Structure 1
Amino acid sequence: MELKFTNAFKQAAGLGIIAGMRTFSAPVVVSHVYSRHPSRQLKNTPAQFMQSIATSKVFKVLAAGELVGDKMPAAPNRTSAGGLIGRFLSGALCGATVYRANHQQPVIGGIIGGTAAIGSAFGCMFLRIALGKRTGLPDPVVGAIEDAVVIATGSALAKHM
């Protein structure tokens, strides 16, 4: 039996992974795409705000602040309760939005996106620690590499939405 993943599943999971790495980057991708290419499926739904240019701009400002703040010594741990809740909600919002836009059940997309965000938060934290130890690179440099991965992955996802 061959397991096939729908485009919406891949989008929700990919956006969840990005949300686990950088909370606001996944909503940037979704709001950027849907504010420029609105989906009829999102009209008159709770996710309609994701199609607003203003929403897209707000998420971009928040994401830029997060990229800077992540490099600060006082940056909170991504696996703290607050960090995990924010990442889960970000992934869930994005997963639900793309599922709804693809004529599928938003609750399923939300679960996929939120779960992927939690897994990614832990996986990327362990990867970041290991990479720093293995290479001797300072944490802000490893964080900048992670930023590049987030941006490249977000751009690739946006092209297929």
Structure 2
Amino acid sequence: MKQPVNHAPARFWPLVGFATLAGMRSQSAPAFLTHLLTHQPNPNLARSPLRFMQKPLVATGFKLLAAGEIVTDKLPAAPNRTAPPVLLGRLLSGALVGATWYKSRHGSAWGGAALGGAVAVAATFASFALRMGVSRAAGLPVALVGVGEDALVLAGGAALLRAQKPPQGRAL
């Protein structure tokens, strides 16, 4: 008798990665996930309201938003990431990638949204504390430390994409 496949680790850990990116740079997580899904479409999303996350135009839009966020994050007028409207955006970004990821991996979109939102909020506060702490300890401008954070987000997102196994043997 064939044993059922446990999809939980394949859902959980990548979701934590995507949601952490959402907490650091809100648009980076959907940019990376839509990139993955346009190259590796998932049949579990085909009839889902989340199917738009597999559209090339959506992926391009999120990539443009992510690039804009990287630039505007360094501006003196940029709001604090823990300010309620900004924090809400990060929570929603984490929820979107969480719902999409869990749904694509045979899980509950609602459960993925809840977990993704929670991880994104936690990552928002953790990355903010880290950024401010490094800035203070090293005597560096916060914006310069933000460039390092950008590099970490880009490297982390790229590593997360490389770690995903393509369905039916397709390469990314």
Would you call these one fold, judging by a TM-score over 0.5? Answer: yes
Show structure 1 runs of 4+ deviating over 6 A: none
Note the C-alpha offset of 1:39. Answer: 0.2
The alignment yields a C-alpha RMSD, in angstroms, of: 0.9
Identify which of 111, 115, 121 aligns with 1:112: 115
Q: Which residue of 2 aligns with 1:13?
A: 16
Identify which of 92, 99, 102 aligns with 1:99: 102
Larger Rg: 2
Q: How does 1:1-161 map to 2 (within 5 A)?
A: 6-161=9-164
Q: Is the 8 A contact 1:11 1:95 kept in 2?
A: no
TM-score (norm 2): 0.89
CA distance in 2, matches of 1:122, 1:77: 11
Letter in 2 for 1:32: H
CA distance in 1, matches of 2:153, 2:139: 22
Note the C-alpha offset of 1:159. Answer: 1.6
Q: Which residue of 1 aligns with 2:167?
A: none
Paired residues, number: 157
Q: Aligned with 1:75: secondary structure?
A: coil
Note the C-alpha offset of 1:136. Answer: 0.7
Q: Is the 8 A contact 1:97 1:106 kept in 2?
A: yes
CA distance in 1, matches of 2:159, 2:112: 19
Letter in 1 for 2:159: A
**Structure 2, unaligned runs of 5 or more:** 1-7, 165-172
TM-score (norm 1): 0.95
Note the C-alpha offset of 1:69. Answer: 0.2
**Structure 1, unaligned runs of 5 or more:** none
Note the C-alpha offset of 1:64. Answer: 0.4
